[in-house]
Amino acid sequence: MVSVATDSRKMIKHKDLSVTSFTNGTVDNFTLSNKVSRIILSLITNLEDEGIKVISNEQNVWFKCDYFSLTSRLIEGRYPNYDSVIPRDNDKIAIIDKSQFIAALKRVLLMGNPTSELVILSFTNNRLDVSAEDIDFQKSASEFIDCTYSNEDFKIGFKGSVLLQLLTNITGVYVKISMKDPSRAALVQENVQAEGIEYTSLIMPMRYD
């Protein structure tokens, strides 16, 4: 099962190879609204090993288990070709301790611009500098953490709150960021994927002066 969600700044693709299907090998797909997706999430969050049955046709989808049954109308139209926007040639790769990265981002964001939430990531040899600045109030913050990075010096800007969302979704200890250019999308992934799971998140950069 492949699940994809996107907005103007980020996209997340989650592939679960453990899902069983009884559609004789045919591919079925549908698009849910954000509201229905959140309802499903709230319903299944506290379920332990209970399986969920998903049945769909051209207009509706049913989610069923022993504890609830939910029916929803589907969004009409075909979902965009998400695989076409995932970069395949990002060659600037950094491996970072996730907890240290999150902590650094939260600290520097307090001193950054609350409207843009721009944070600058500056990569040098095995080092990441995380910085933010609010010119209007003449305040700034910068913090560095160790990482694994051996490419040329590289700088890129992101919206801090969006980057934090992607990092929070990652369950592993280390996160891998793959970049190409300050104006092109970067990939945020677990350094080592869980067995049977393929998780990819894409984040668009922000311009900086």
Q: In which residue are the tokens 């695989």 written?
A: 83
Listed in sequence order, the residues at least 6 apart from 2 whose beta carbon sits closer than 8 Å to its beta carbon are 13, 14, 15, 16
Give residue limits of the domains in the chain.
30-78, 92-203
- Residue 8: the pLDDT is 79
- 26: pLDDT confidence band, cut at 50, 70 and 90? low
Q: Degrees (nearest 5) of the Cα angle 143, 154, 165?
A: 60
Q: Per-residue pLDDT for 165 more than 90?
A: yes
Amino acid at 88: R
User: CB–CB of 6/79 below 8 Å?
Assistant: no
Per residue in 54-108, pLDDT (tens digit) is 888 888 999 988 888 899 998 887 787 888 899 999 999 999 999 999 999 999 9
- Could you tell me the two tokens for 90? 């990002």
Output the CATH code of domain 92-203.
3.10.150.10
Q: Degrees (nearest 5) of the Cα angle 159, 14, 81?
A: 80
Per residue in 109-118, pLDDT (tens digit) is 999 999 999 9
- Residue 22: the pLDDT is 61
Looking at residue 206, the DSSP 8-state letter turns out to be B
Q: Per-residue pLDDT for 153 more than 60?
A: yes
- Residue 24: the pLDDT is 59
pTM of the predicted protein model = 0.85
Alpha-carbon distance of 88 to 102, in angstroms, equals 26
